[in-house]
Structure 1
Amino acid sequence: MAKTGMYVGLDIGTTSVKVVVAEYIDSQMNIIGVGNAKSEGINRGIIVDIDKTVHAIQRAVKQAEEKAGIQIKSVSVGLPANLLEVEPCQGMIAVNNESKEITDEDVRNVASAAMVRSVPPERQIVSLLPQEFTVDGFEGIKDPRGMIGVRLEMFGLVFTGPKTIIHNIHRCVEKAGLTVAETIITPLALTESILSDGEKDFGTIVIDMGGGQTTTSVMHDKQLKFTHVDQEGGEYVTKDISIVLNTSFNNAEALKINYGDAYPSRTSKEEDFPVDVIGKTDPIKVDERYLAEIIEARLEQIFSKAKEALDEIEALDLPGGVVLSGGAASLPGVVDLAEDIFGTNVKLHVPNQMGLRNPVFTNVISIVNYSAELNDVYHLAKTAVTGEKAVLAPQASAVSTTPVYDDYDAVEEYEEETKPKSDEKVTGKIKDFFSNIFD
């Protein structure tokens, strides 16, 4: 079914909070609003101050609303890979319907059966991802509804995470005046969205280099097989520059952006630039090679830790190589350095959406795209996780598209023009039923 409707993604990062509003028409994404606010209250990808995080979310949402000309009511929020665990699951039930035709209720019941497991009290099930169904021994079925059978089996993946992290994210979104339409596991959305079908199938590594942490994910056989989080990111490069050169954090960030390179052999000792040093009146001269060596040292440490984790599962033997994403990956020389350390082909993913061609927006675009791809079977399985009774009920609209007018006559004119006729009401209800996502 072609994707149609409005979707809003929210990415709560260590250095910035990003919001994207996308309109889908016949599965074509059109980004109509973007918000990007400096993060506060977040350390290494974890919320440590709810109130400051709420204010950052509100600022980003306001920017997106102003650019899109709409009011945002609900969002799909990304969940980081911190302490994320992925486990295979399997469930089997007898079809209850007298006609033996598999219904929505049967899909939900088999999903509930697949989740029968012991979960530690400090963790909770975040998501259940159905992969395939088996009806009376016939395998490889993606959607069994409407089929005839006696025994229904489901094979899928269960994702669990720390209750504290999940609660804090939901609490911040709600305090910001929004509702959570979907909780999206960010590395899952990222690998699903930026990799080709061949890369997902044969196996590819995705390294997301954020400001406060670096997340390494492995996709193989079209499944997210592995995640690893290193609590170091682009901010640590900036801190190293600040400490070594004895300059302020803001100056260090400017030096990294304007003169930084992660591959010292590409730089020159003859090219230098002024640096304001704390405690000195006049700036000092620093050459490009010295700055690059500072940057290289930290990034080499980050990549080496990722390589150790990947070597344990022999993931670097996968033919897809490594795909880099995230703001810290956009620094010149990062791809060359990564190729030296990993010993395989490395490429940088840059979003191709107009106005957002920067790796810093990759995660939030992936969250939006992944949300739009979710099908009815996923939402039925979701009700088994959340315990909701309703099945495939229309979701409340993520946005309000009614413009704001200062002139009262304009309001009456707009309402008269947009008032549905009797036939349009029925058609509108049918379209809403099939196009909206169940929450």
Structure 2
Amino acid sequence: MTKPSGTAQEAHAGIELESEFEHSPVPPSHRKSLLTVSAVWFGFPMILTNAVPGGLVVALLGFWRGLAAILVANIIMFAYVSLLSYRAGQTGKSFSLQATETFGTAGYAIASGFLSTVVVGWFAFNTGATGASLNEAFGWNETLVAGAAGIVFIAVTYLGIKALSWLGAIAAPLFIIAAGTAMVVAASNGDFGRITEFHGAGGGAMTFGVAVTTTMATFADSGTMTADFTRWSKNGRQAVWATATAFPVASLAQLSGGVLVAAGAIASAETGGGDFTPILTGVGSPILNVLVVVFVVINLGSVCTHCLYNGALGWSHLVRSKMRLLTLILGVIGVVVALLGAWDYFVNWLSILGVLVPPLGAVLIADQIILRGRLAGRAETRFRPTAFIAWAAGAAVALLVHVAAPSFSDAVVGLLVGLVVYLAIELPRKQARPQV
């Protein structure tokens, strides 16, 4: 009797342990429904750590300008992520496989390794945030909570893409319940009728461009790696629909933080943003306290598992291993980093991502969407210098804008420069044609 293959063994063990296709496109036979893929994306950005920057933007810009910055950022993110998702839905290829085509069979390791490491940093950050949030709310031991939560998040990620859809299907409605309850509590003590008159801190504490970048940067990394999720879609159109549930629909998380700040329901919003959990715990209700605990763990667990999945899938392809093994290794590393205080470096992460990530995604869009007709006849190569030149140009100009022209969005400028530079280099180059 022949022994079943590894993939077959995983399938027999249960649907949650089916192959994650680390090194090949997802075949049509394994594609998921629109509802499943949408649940993966919808439950990802609708989180507490997205309400925080939403509240921060409104606190510093005022209600209307803050709302405009959030909407502009989400429209840009929809266009950006949808294009990458459409390609993934067409081909079934992960971010690493997409990057291999654009940056080269060896060059992709730089792009994939960079982003796969950054998302593990986000896993560490949100794991630390879980401990810090429950410590602030109830005085629980921050280290023990973060460590225990990290173990649970690793276990969920280990189950694969199906578990992410289950968690997302729970996390998003739970956010709506928690945020809605916070608004009801806040409305009983304040006046929501005057939120449109909220003018913010003013004084140039934040420019409109910086607000757009801050909003985009929260999901610039996993948005660029969207193919890891949307490659499971049945086609490109469904991949775009799934993306729409995250951008702009899940921007409700950012808007909820902004509304509560504008209503004066959150103290020290200029530094703490739209974290509304103190509103719920301030009532002293045992039921609301239980809601806060469940909400924080599941809600932040959603973003943690998604980020760890991105990182494990990327690194498993880099080292030619399995996603589940890398989930365990990177998960342990991420938990250790969280216990060392990754929570304290939130702003630093956003600044780095806003400069470096969007130009990378722009190069992928230019190469695989705008110039997709050239892919079939292009010879395979280890490094594609034009891709790296465009990425570097976009990042350099974005950094210059960040330092010298903060009124503009460095994320948007970097994205546009990366796109234009790549097209400017590649369009004049004639595609090699096979000899007849």
Higher helix share goes to which structure?
Answer: 2
Normalising by structure 1, what TM-score? Answer: 0.29
- RCO greater where, 1 or 2, for CA within 8 Å and sep 6 or more? 2
- In terms of Rg, which structure is larger? 1
Higher strand share goes to which structure?
Answer: 1
